Structures are given as structure tokens and as C-alpha cells.
Amino acid sequence: MSTVMPPAPDSFQVRVTAAVKGHYQTSMRRSLQSVALYEADRCLKNRYSQLRPFQKKYALFATAVDLLGTLDFLNEYHRQEIMFRTNASKEPLAPDLAWRRMKLITREINQTILPKAKLLLEDDANKENSHEEICEILLQNMFEDNSEKNSKPYPSMWEFNHNNVFSVYRIYFRGVTLDPNIFPARLFRMVPVPLKKPDTFRMAHDASSLALANMTINANGRNNFDVSEDDRRAMLKEVKDHTELLKSFEGIVPDEEIAKRKRALYAALPPVPPPYVAGAVVPVIAGKRQRKKAKVAGAAKPQIPAIPAMSIPTAVATPEVAKPKAATVPETAKPTAMDEGDDWENVDAVVKEEEQAKVTVAV
């Protein structure tokens, strides 16, 4: 005789597993994030009055992470991936951004889904349809409105790729109102929140247990000396931000856990710059852009060959030239006393008078 198993009790886990058919794909990331934030808000409704505004955001984020931990079809990486800010950046979702996204869920449902659901339910042909059948008709109508392929059924992942709040409607609504038979919200634990508002809302994974994997910036950073100045400053700032965040949890998280996280941060510090030695040439490690500029500048400058140095002699040896002997002047060629003592300014006048006398005699 076969035993009939009783139906599983209605719960968050049962409805979410049914909505995604028991398996996870990356395209479901934002839809499951919306579901977790919506349920976390339900769990904390009665406790918000005891929290300050920034504490509400931390509590919402931590509760959403706890809820994802109860879904058996997710592994640890899937749970972290769902709470990424974007799938491209792989950065954890900040608590203040998680709060804003939660506030938008109800508004998106009211604007994009409920008006179309109301039109369907007003048609007598759909009054006997179940909630799942209404959801299928809604998705088909939305697909046809957004594409020209009216005769083709919508793809299986279209629900998660084009409307990340439709899964919330599928799980929590019936028709145009909330399901009156919805399972009660259950808070699994009292999540710790910081007593003082930190300078930054950046968190690694959740408010109670900062994930070591996400806090480790560069585990091998100390052994890597090929780090530009800008990268070193960015790494130092990252470590500083996480250290300040850890201080806000002192007295809430055990001291051993805080010390463990600090050791991980210290291990992620960038390498120390090499010491300066007088007279030594310290290599400057430039970034990729600086190296490219230097390469282009070097290629643009013409290479001028160096001029060889010329040796300048200190002294030039001058060959000795033999002096010519004085020539013997004949007696007749020697100038007379008259030649030496005459007035040489009147020589031309005397020559002219002699020539005139010769002409007269000839005539």
C-alpha cells in the first residue's frame, strides 16, 4: 500500500523553488535578488521602529543574505553572485543601494504588472484560470508588446531577463492583490547592526560575517613589486576603508573574528616602495599609458649620431727654416748720397723739365 506524502508546508523556500523550477541560472540573478529583498523587508517590518535609518539598511541586507542561505538549489558562489551590484563589476551590493532597490519593487509591480493583470481578470474567459495560468498569459502579452513576433511563444528565460520583479508578483500576489494566504514572514536570527554609522556603506558579504574572500584585495601583493603608484594608492585606500568598517563592528562581532579579518587586510597591503639610496638610480615603474607615451616620444625623435671627439695638440712643433745668406750688392747699385738725401716729392717735376728740353732740341 503506497503512502501518500502530505503536501509540503507553504514557505519562502517552497515558493521560490517552484518559481525557478528548482534550478538556478545567471539570468535569474536580479529576480532572486528582488525576491530576497522583498522577503527581508517583510521579516523586518515589525522591527524597523527599533532601528535607526542606517541600521535598517544593514539589517535588510543581512536578512536577505540569510534568506538566500536557506535555498538548497543555490551553492555558495550563487548566493554571492545574486547579491552583486552588477554581474559585470562583481562588487557586493551596498546596503544603501539594497534599500533603494527594495523600495522600487512594489512601485514597479504597481506600474508594469497590475494594470495588465486587472485587464485580464476583467475578461470572463480568464476568471476560471489559476494564478500560474494568469502569469503565463501576462508574460506572453508582455512579450508580444515588446517584440514583433506575435505568433511565437516567449522564451523560457524572458521573465528573468526583462522584468526582474515579475517573480515577486508570481510568488506574493494573487490577481491584483497580495495573497491573503501567504506564508508568515520568519526572521531566522537577530542580525547585528553597527551602533555608529560608518563612513562608508561598503560591505563584503553581510553585516554579521564579512566574507574573507571578498575582503582580500591581493593575497600575493607583498611579493609583487611591479605595481604602479596609482595602483598602490588605490590598494591602500581599499584596505583603509575595510579597516574602518571593521571598527564599527567592535563589540558586536567577536574579537577573534575582527583580528582574523585585520590580518587578512594586512596581508593584502601593497608592497613597500624600495628604499632610496644616495647615488643610486631608482627605477620608476610607469603605468601602461605612460610607457606608451614614452615609446611614441622616443620613436618621434630622430636619432642624431654622436660627433667623435677631436684631440687638440697642446703644442705644434715648427720646423726650423734656414735663413738665406745676405746677397752681395755691387758698388754701382748702391744708392748715392744725393739719391738718399734728395727731396723725393720733386722728382716728377724734374723729369718733366728734362723731357721738354729734349723736345726743343729736336725741333
At 223, the pLDDT band (50, 70, 90 cuts) reads very low
State which amino acid sits at residue 35: V
- Range among 7-11, 151-155, 300-304 rated most confident: 151-155
- Range among 120-134, 194-208, 229-243, 347-361 rated most confident: 120-134
At 88, the pLDDT band (50, 70, 90 cuts) reads confident
What's the confidence (pLDDT) of residue 282?
47
Asked if residue 180 has pLDDT above 90, the reply is: yes
- Beta bridge partners, 174, equal 177
pLDDT digits (tens, 9 = 90+) for 93-105: 999 999 999 999 9
Among 118, 117, 120, 125, which residue's Cα sits nearest to residue 166?
A: 117
At 339, the pLDDT band (50, 70, 90 cuts) reads very low
What's the confidence (pLDDT) of residue 152?
85
Give me the mean pLDDT over the 170-187 stretch.
Answer: 94
- 313 vs 259, residue with greater confidence: 259
Give me the mean pLDDT over the 136-154 stretch.
Answer: 85
- 336 vs 46, residue with greater confidence: 46
CA distance 52 to 195: 9
What's the confidence (pLDDT) of residue 241?
80
- 328 vs 185, residue with greater confidence: 185
Across 13-22, 109-118, 304-313, least confident range: 304-313
C-alpha grid cell for residue 168? Answer: 515577486
Cite the beta strand spans of the chain per DSSP E: 173-174, 177-178
- What are the phi and psi torsion angles at 338 (to 5°)? -65, -45
Q: What share of the chain is helix, strand, coil (3-state, %, to 5)?
A: 50, 0, 45
Q: Are 175 and 117 in contact (CB under 8 A)?
A: yes
CA distance 183 to 202: 33
What's the confidence (pLDDT) of residue 93?
93
Please state the separation of Cα 359 from the chain's center in Å: 120
- What are the phi and psi torsion angles at 328 (to 5°)? -85, 120
Among 59, 85, 76, which residue's Cα sits nearest to residue 194?
A: 59
- Beta bridge partners, 178, equal 173
pLDDT digits (tens, 9 = 90+) for 63-86: 999 999 999 999 999 999 999 999
CB 291: neighbour CB atoms within 10 A?
Answer: 12
pLDDT over 70 for what percent of the chain? Answer: 63
CA distance 104 to 42: 15
Among 26, 18, 6, which residue's Cα sits nearest to residue 71?
A: 18
- Beta bridge partners, 177, equal 174
Give me the mean pLDDT over the 228-235 stretch.
Answer: 74
CA count, 13 A, side-chain hemisphere, 341 = 3
C-alpha grid cell for residue 233? Answer: 594608492
Across 12-21, 47-56, 154-163, 213-222, least confident range: 213-222
State which amino acid sits at residue 53: P
Asked if residue 40 has pLDDT above 80, the reply is: yes
Give the β-pairing of 177-178 and 173-174: antiparallel
> Under the phi-then-psi rule, with left for phi > 0, alpha for psi from -120 to 50, and beta for the rest, what region is 273?
beta
- Beta bridge partners, 84, equal 92
CA count, 13 A, side-chain hemisphere, 37 = 30
What's the confidence (pLDDT) of residue 193?
85
Asked if residue 166 has pLDDT above 90, the reply is: yes
* Average pLDDT score, the chain: 76
Asked if residue 156 has pLDDT above 80, the reply is: yes
C-alpha grid cell for residue 74? Answer: 543555490
Report CA dihedral (120, 126, 129, 130) to the nearest 10 degrees: 20
pLDDT digits (tens, 9 = 90+) for 192-209: 888 888 776 554 334 333
At 232, the pLDDT band (50, 70, 90 cuts) reads confident
State which amino acid sits at residue 145: D
CA distance 84 to 77: 11
Query: What Cα–Cα distance (Å) separates residue 317 from each residue in 295, 310, 323?
Result: 52, 19, 18
CA distance 42 to 36: 10
Q: Are 271 and 227 in contact (CB under 8 A)?
A: yes
